[in-house]
Amino acid sequence: MILDSKIPEGPLAEKWDKHKFNVKLVNPANKRKYDIIVVGTGLAGASAAATFGELGYNVKAFCFQDTPRRAHSIAAQGGINAAKNYQNDGDSVHRLFYDTIKGGDYRAREANVYRLAQVSVNIIDQCVAQGVPFAREYGGLLANRSFGGAQVSRTFYARGQTGQQLLLGAYSALNRQIAYGKVKMYPRTEMLDLVIVDGQARGIVVRNLITGKIESHSAHAVVLATGGYGNVFFLSTNAMGSNATAAWRAHKKGALFANPCFTQIHPTCIPVSGEYQSKLTLMSESLRNDGRVWVPKTKEIAERLRKGEITVNDIAEGDRDYYLERKYPAFGNLVPRDVASRNAKLVCDEGRGVGSSGLAVYLDFADAIKRDGQPAIAAKYGNLFEMYAKITDENPYERPMRIYPAVHYTMGGLWVDYNLMTNVPGLYAAGEANFSDHGANRLGASALMQGLADGYFVLPYTIGDYLANQKYDKVSVDHPAFKEAEQAVIEKNNLLLSIKGTRTVDDFHKALGLLMWDYCGMARTAEGLKFAKGEIRKLRDEFWRDVKVTGVGEELNQTLEKANRVADFLELGELMVDDALNRNESCGGHFREEYQTPENEALRDDENYTYVAAWEFTGVGNDPILHKEELKFENVKLTQRSYK
C-alpha cells in the first residue's frame, strides 16, 4: 500500500491557498443532493456539521451524549492558540508553525502544521463573531497569555473554561442549522460500525442507547470527529464516556491507524488518591504561567514532609528545588508537557515527591499572590482554584497545589492525507480522531485550535473536492453491505450478553489501564512492552470468557455500552504496544528509557524513524502490517530539542 499524503506542490506558505483554488467545487444547487454523516459533536464535529449545513449539504450528526453541548471539548480549560501577535512580542504564523513542529519533536507533517498556523487567525475572528467571551485587555483587544513550549503570548482564553465557551459557540452554530432543517441531530446514539460499499465509506451502523435498537444510516461521505483514546489507560483526564470505538471499528474495516503510541501525559493534574477513582482531574496548564513547580531539595526533607513531621510552609526557600527553572532557564515552568511530565516523574522516582503517596510535586502561587495580589490571581484562575479546593479540601491560595502527570491527549489516530481523508475513500477524520497535526507531542492550547481548524476551515473545502466526483445516487440501507454490518453488530452484542461471567467490565478495564500505565505510559522499555503485550492478550482472552454483562440488548444498557468500548480498548492497547516496540527511539510523549541523552532528554533517531507509522489491521491477535509515510523537512532543521 502506498500512502499518498496529497501534499500540494509549491512553497510552504502558498500550499493551502493554491490547494483551495485548485480543489473541485460543488455548486450550491447540487450541494443539497449530497448527504454527509458527522460522528461526534465536540469542537471538530460541531463546527464541521454546522459549516456543512451552512454550505447547503444535508447533514446527519451523531453523539452518544444527551446533547452536543455535553461533548468532552467542554472540559478544555486553558485556551486556544492563534498567531495574531496582539502582544507585539514577535509572534507570527511561521513562529507558531515552528513551535508546533519543534514541540512535536519533528514527527509531524510540515504542510499540515503550517496550514494549522495559517487558519488559526481566522478561528479567533469566527469565535468572536459567534459571541465567545474571550478575556480582553483594558484597551478592548483580546487578551493573551503564555503557554508551554512557546516564548510568546498567543493563547486566547475565557478564564479557565475556554473549551466550554468555544463549544457553546459551535453548538449555537449547529443549532441554527438544526432549526433550518439542514442538520438532523441524533443524540444518545453510538456508532458501532462503518459500512463500505464498492470500496467507499457510505454509512454507519448505530445503536440507539435508549431503546437498544440497531439502525443504519447512509450518506455520500462519513466524518469521524470522535476524540481520542486516552481512556485505554482507564484513569485519564477524559470524560468516562470518551472511547475509541468509532475509530477502531473503522480501522477494522480498513482505515489505517497512525502513531498509536504517541500519548500525551499532562503534567498538571490532581494526583491519584485511591483505587476508588474512575477518572482524574486536569488543572489547566495556564496555571504554570504564575505557579512555580518545586519539590524539596533532599529526600530526607521530603520523607519528613510525607510523615507529617513538617508542613510545606516549614520548608525554607533554600531547601526548595524549582527544578524546571533550574534545568530550563529559557522556558522555566513553561516547558512543553512531555518535558514537564518526565521531570516530575524523575524527581518523584528520586524519592523527593510530596503528598502521602510521594507521587506529586508542588505548584506554588505564593510569589504570584505576593506580586499581583490574590484578587488578580482569582480573576485569572478563580474557577480552577475553586475546583481544586472542592476536590482536595485544601486552599490553593494558602498552600501550594499538589500535581502529578496523567494521561490527557492522544496524538495518534486514524491516518489521513492533507485533505483529512483516510485511506478509505469517503471516510474523513477530524480533530483528535486523526493523527495529523501534532507529531509526538502536543503543545498546550493546540487541541482546540486543531479541532476548529479542521471543522470550520479545512473540511468544508476538501470534502467538496471529493463529493464533486461522486454521483448523486444514494445507497439504500437495505443494501447487503448494511445488513451484513448490522448483523455483525447484533451478533457481537449477543455474544457479550451470553458470556455471563464473574468479572465486571470495569474490573477488566482497570486491569488493562494498569498494564498500559506501567509499561506503555510515561516511560517504556522493550522488556516491559513485550511483557505487556503478552499480558494484554491473556486479559483479552479472559474478557471473552469471563466478563459479566447484565441486562439485554433491546433496552437502555450501559454495561453493554461499556463492554463494547472495553473490548475495543483491549485490541487497541496491543497495537499501542506494538507501535511503541517498533519505534526504537524517544520522541515527545514516546519515551523509551533505552534511548535518552545523558541529561535524560528524549533521544530521537532521525535516520531511521522520521516517518508516520500507519498500521493495517489483519485480525484480532494477528500482527498488524506497518506502512510508512516518510516525513520530509524542507523548512526546518532537525535538531536536538532544547528548552534551555
Residue owning grid cell 522516582? 349
Catalytic residue, from 107, 306, 337, 402: name it.
337
Instruction: Please write down the HEC assignment for all residues of 570-615.
Output: HHHHHHHHHHHHHCCCCECCECECCCECCCCCECCCHHHHCEEEEE
Adjacent-strand bridge partners of 627: 614
Residue 341 CA to residue 602 CA, distance in Å, equals: 12
Q: What share of the chain is helix, strand, coil (3-state, %, to 5)?
A: 45, 15, 40
352 closest CA partner among 292, 273, 298: 298
Helix or strand or coil: residue 266?
strand
Residue 408 CA to residue 153 CA, distance in Å, equals: 23
Helix or strand or coil: residue 626?
strand
Question: 586 Cβ partners below 8 Å, 6+ apart?
Answer: 592, 595, 596, 602, 603, 604
Q: In what order do the strands lie in the sheet with 214-218?
A: 189-197, 200-208, 214-218
- Is residue 111 within 8 A of residue 7, CB to CB? The reply is yes
Residue 403 CA to residue 237 CA, distance in Å, equals: 13
Is 337 part of the annotated catalytic residue set?
Answer: yes
Residue 290 CA to residue 333 CA, distance in Å, equals: 9
H helices of 478-557, where? 480-499, 505-520, 526-546
Residue 278 CA to residue 565 CA, distance in Å, equals: 15
Could you tell me the three cell numbers for 316?
Answer: 525554607
What are the catalytic residues?
Answer: 337
